[in-house]
Amino acid sequence: MTRHLITSALPYINGIKHLGNMVGSMLPADVYSRYLRQRGHEVLYICATDEHGTPAELAAKTAGLPVAEFCARQHDAQKAVYDGFGLSFDYFGRTSSAQNIEITQHFARQLKANGFIEERSTRQVYSLADERFLPDRYIVGTCPFCGYEAARGDQCENCTRVLDPTDLLDPRSAVSGSTELEIRETTHLFLLQSKLEGEVEAFVDEAGKEWPVLASSIARKWLTEGLHDRAITRDLEWGVPVPADVWPELAAEGKVFYVWFDAPIGYIGATKEWADAAGDGESRDWRSWWFGTGTGADEGGSVRYTEFMAKDNVPFHTVMFPATELGTREPWKKVDYVKAFNWLTYYGGKFSTSQNRGIFVDDALELLPADYWRYFLMASAPESDDASFSWEHFSAIVNKDLADTLGNFVNRVLTFSRKRFGDEVPAGHAAGEAEARLGAEVARLLAEYEEHLEALQFRKATFALRALWSAGNSYLEEKAPWLEIKSDPEAAALTLRTAMNLIQLYAVVSEPVIPASAAVLRSVFGVADAGGWVTPEQATALDTITAGTAFTVPPVLFAKITEDDLAGYRERFGGAEE
């Protein structure tokens, strides 16, 4: 079996994330990881909090906390929310860890030794009011390309154009709001991406053949425009320090590496954290996942590396991070597949952590269990284009698919069978033509579901899962056991036994998308864990749960969202963006 390394774009440390962030990186990676584990693959799913850079310092300043303490608290808070969402990370690390500092500094030393880092004098914005140089995100102003008035000095959140702080119109300090800014000279380290452009282009040409158009087009756009040498250090109090053994003067000045230099390396750092955290004598080899594995099976690589991210993160993962890896002249594992997502908007306006607009994941879990959100987000995944969240759409999906299609089927089957035949699965006749047709249909739909999951097409996969649930309802309506019981109880027993086998099948195949609900379905028949996958061929028979098996009737799986609920949600979070 292939070993699968899976990473989600690292969430910033500055506050709980919103649903757009969840659907754009972490949730689909979790669905894919769960599916692969059920298929018997070895999976390592890694993520971490992105703790360096301006957002951390500004958020800590607002909170009135030392930045290290702020980051530690926020890491724990984010991890708790992700646990509540059922995200099955193998490890959720921190870019401020000793492991990431060590590896980031190693990368810098290697790049310097190979001639891909140099010191340059540069002109940078200095705030007279703050008495300090302002890194790019400490400066806000108007984007010269789209006119967005709250653009940051490194990238416009609205149009995603990468910026230099000096590009901004009407710039001001993000710390004090002062416009008393001037340009002064300072020294920084630059990654010479221009010298690596040909190698990066060759990498994208080869690896990008598999990538979805969204990811490959963004990477190629950057390459077409040409790779520019880029500063990788900043004047900040918090970050990975420039190593004094290589750059003593810059280290003495307190320079730290730019967050977008150390953050992708954080995937490797978190993997080493995972290895170092092994207990009870367990030994974990982090290098076998990252070092010397090549880029594919033909080069001796046993690891397939898949990255999940929103489209604004694509340039850094497909161009800048590969350039960093290539420049070390060491065999670091490079990405095989980049699953990029468009944006989930909130009534047409962008979810925004910084502007507190949209539904945040802690609020979501306060309102409803995680599976409601997991299913909705996968059914609405913004893969081909941006998608819009609305409370009306959310309630329609939950009520129709979860409550009516899956939940109602489970409740009808189990309550009717217990009422008529007791607390054990009834036997009834041998399977007939209707059961054969159902088995064939289930096998076809399951194969379709597998195909979409393998292709990382999550919206299509969710539709196929819903179709599997619908097949059970169609079978129930066709056989009508509430009528069969009157004339042929054994026929009704067969129908219910078949339907119970569908419930067990649903427990297995729904696990990647709605794991908590799948666990409830497994408990109906006393099955403790998810176990392996069910192949289409195995599913055809629908005979896993045999007559005489004890079962229980669980509470209602999914409560419907009422008009009163909707009114309350709209009042609390707003409707269409004003």
Average pLDDT score over residue span 73-88: 97
Q: What is the pLDDT of residue 355?
A: 60
Query: CA 132 to CA 499: how far, in whole Å?
Result: 69
Query: With bands split at pLDDT 50, 70 and 90, how would you rate the model's confidence at 492?
Result: very high
Q: What is the pLDDT of residue 134?
A: 84
User: What percentage of the chain has pLDDT greater than the value 70?
Assistant: 96
Q: What is the pLDDT of residue 242?
A: 97
Q: What is the pLDDT of residue 354?
A: 57
Which residue in 84, 97, 112 sits closest to 26, CA to CA?
A: 84
Q: What is the pLDDT of residue 466?
A: 98
Q: What are phi and psi of 241, to 5 degrees?
A: -65, 145
Q: Give the CA count within 13 Å in the CB-facing half-sphere of 298.
A: 3
Tokens standing for residue 499 = 């339907």
CA-based max dimension of the chain: 92
Average pLDDT score over residue span 433-444: 96
Buried b (16+ CB within 10 A) or exposed e, 270-305: bbbbbbeeeeeeeebebebbbeebebbeeeebebbb
Q: Is the pLDDT of residue 473 over 50?
A: yes
The one-letter amino acid at 386? D
Q: If DSSP codes are grouped into helix, strand and coil, which group holds residue 243?
A: coil
The pLDDT tens digits of the residues spanning 340-390 come to 999 999 888 877 655 666 789 999 999 999 999 999 999 999 999 999 999
- pTM assigned to the model: 0.91
Query: With bands split at pLDDT 50, 70 and 90, how would you rate the model's confidence at 41?
Result: very high
Query: With bands split at pLDDT 50, 70 and 90, how would you rate the model's confidence at 577?
Result: very low
Distances from the Cα of 157 to the Cα of 93, 319, 349, 569, angstroms: 26, 19, 12, 27
Strands, sheet with 42-49, edge to edge from the N-terminal-most edge strand: 91-94, 42-49, 3-8, 303-310, 337-341
Average pLDDT score over residue span 119-138: 85
Beta strands in 347-499 (DSSP E): 349-350, 387-389
Whether the Cβ atoms of residue 340 and residue 217 lie closer than 8 Å to each other:
no
Q: Is the pLDDT of residue 295 over 60?
A: no
Average pLDDT score over residue span 412-428: 96
Which residue in 507, 429, 522 sits closest to 472, CA to CA?
A: 507
The pLDDT tens digits of the residues spanning 515-531 come to 999 999 999 998 877 67
Q: Is the pLDDT of residue 195 over 80?
A: yes
Q: Which residue has the tokens 């979501």?
A: 364
Residue 105 CA, chain-centre distance (Å), reads 27
Q: Is the pLDDT of residue 281 over 70?
A: no
Q: What structural domains and CATH numbers belong to the chain? A: 3-104+259-388 (3.40.50.620), 116-256 (2.170.220.10), 391-539 (1.10.730.10)
Tokens standing for residue 367 = 């309102």
Q: What is the pLDDT of residue 56?
A: 86
Q: What is the 3-state secondary structure (H, E, C) of 72-140?
A: HHHHHHHHHHHHHCCCCCCEEEECCCHHHHHHHHHHHHHHHHCCCEEEEEEEEEEECCCCEECCHHHEE
Q: What is the pLDDT of residue 237?
A: 85
Average pLDDT score over residue span 132-137: 80
Any known ligand binding at 47? no
Average pLDDT score over residue span 234-260: 93
Q: Are strands 91-94 and 42-49 parallel, antiparallel or unpaired?
A: parallel
Q: What is the pLDDT of residue 356?
A: 60
Any known ligand binding at 156? yes
Query: CA 476 to CA 134: how far, in whole Å?
Result: 66
Average pLDDT score over residue span 217-235: 93
Q: Are strands 117-127 and 181-191 parallel, antiparallel or unpaired?
A: antiparallel
Query: With bands split at pLDDT 50, 70 and 90, how would you rate the model's confidence at 326?
Result: very high
Q: What is the pLDDT of residue 564?
A: 95
Q: Which residue has the tokens 């963006």?
A: 577
Q: Is the pLDDT of residue 576 over 80?
A: no
Query: CA 417 to CA 424: how far, in whole Å?
Result: 8
| Average model confidence (pLDDT) across the chain | 92
Which residue in 478, 499, 474 sits closest to 420, CA to CA?
A: 499
User: What percentage of the chain has pLDDT greater than the value 90?
Assistant: 79
Any known ligand binding at 71? no
User: Could you write out the DSSP letters of every residue in 368-409?
Assistant: S-HHHHHHHHHHT--SSS-EEE-HHHHHHHIIIIIIIIIIHH
Query: CA 400 to CA 169: how far, in whole Å?
Result: 49
Q: What is the pLDDT of residue 298?
A: 37
Q: Is the pLDDT of residue 99 over 80?
A: yes
Query: With bands split at pLDDT 50, 70 and 90, how would you rate the model's confidence at 1?
Result: low
The pLDDT tens digits of the residues spanning 381-411 come to 999 999 999 999 999 999 999 999 999 999 9
